[in-house]
Structure 1
């Protein structure tokens, strides 16, 4: 069967195929460019997110540092308050002790006056004490009992070895007896303790072997 296709038809088909191929290539390139653009946009978005995350992390760390600093300041403030309260308590206790000692010292002066009055009255009256002397001795005993109820006790002195922590040597006297060397042979003023602390040392005369 003879081929009825003319040369003009073959050229048109060839031209048509070339145009189609060019169109497909153009579409393929456009699609590739679109994918590249989308990929680039995604990369930029990820980079932006990473930057924001870093900023948020930095902000969180800053806030954490501020919180730690605030907590340290609060802790220090609590310690300062506790120390201030402790100092105040010590100061109050010390002030109270000082006032108590001052008051008791004044009471000891009164007790000394009673001691001297009793001693003088005994020297004058001998073995027949008057009612006045007996009354003064009663006041003396009550006064001493009141001091003892507040923790005050008399310091042992007469005949005791001299102890500088509780005795105040007003003088030293030569003694012939070696047994009296370094011992209290006379008391010029009674001494007193409050608890275990010296309220007033005893005034004493100490013997010294000649």
Structure 2
């Protein structure tokens, strides 16, 4: 570079196109416009396709949610249906016993025992299990309720006597067994 040359003056002004640029732009402008229009049409088609897929997925999700809510509602409404079906014959037996006018004590006792077996069977079918701890078994505060502690000739904190049976329903305590517990010595 010579001292008289000014590199800034040899450059075209900012924003000016090179001398042959108008011809080049004129030649590529129709091609670019055509490819841009094609690209835009392609993107719009893809957008419609994705929007349609989204709306369908959203509708399907809403349908699944609605069906699940209906099933939950029906499950709550008819949750005791099986249990009620098991209890109806027990009620029938009790009504039949009341209808007999001149029954003897033995007949009534026999009917009560049969109805009790029927009731126990209905409870068992519905996963209601009797909780009747044996005397001497370990006191379990999760399944037993201690009414009192009594002095006894057995290990401390063991069941002495069951005052009222408890019940489990599907491994969950429905009612704890009421028990007396051996006091520490």
Shift of 1:100: 5.5
Aligned to 1:144: 120
Structure 1, gaps ≥5 residues long: 1-39, 115-129
Q: What's the C-alpha RMSD, in Å, of the aligned pairs?
A: 3.6
Structure 2, gaps ≥5 residues long: 1-22, 95-104
**1:161 pairs with one of 138, 148, 162:** 138
User: Scaled by the length of structure 1, what TM-score is found?
Assistant: 0.52
Higher helix share: 1
- Per the alignment, do residues 188 and 94 of structure 1 end up closer, same or farther by CA in structure 2, a change over 3 Å counting? farther
Shift of 1:201: 2.8
Shift of 1:71: 1.6
Higher Cα radius of gyration:
1
Q: 1:60-93: CA deviations, max 9, x gaps? A: 2133134223323422432343244334434533
Task: Please list every run of at least 4 consecutive aligned residues from structure 1 whose deviation after the TM superposition is greater than 4 angstroms.
Answer: 43-46, 100-104
Shift of 1:96: 3.6
Aligned to 1:57: 39
SS in 2 for 1:209: coil
Residues of 1 paired with 2:114 and 2:83: CA distance? 25
Aligned to 1:207: 182
User: Scaled by the length of structure 2, what TM-score is found?
Assistant: 0.57
Residues of 2 paired with 1:185 and 1:101: CA distance? 37
Residues of 1 paired with 2:77 and 2:151: CA distance? 45
**2:109 pairs with one of 128, 133, 137:** 133
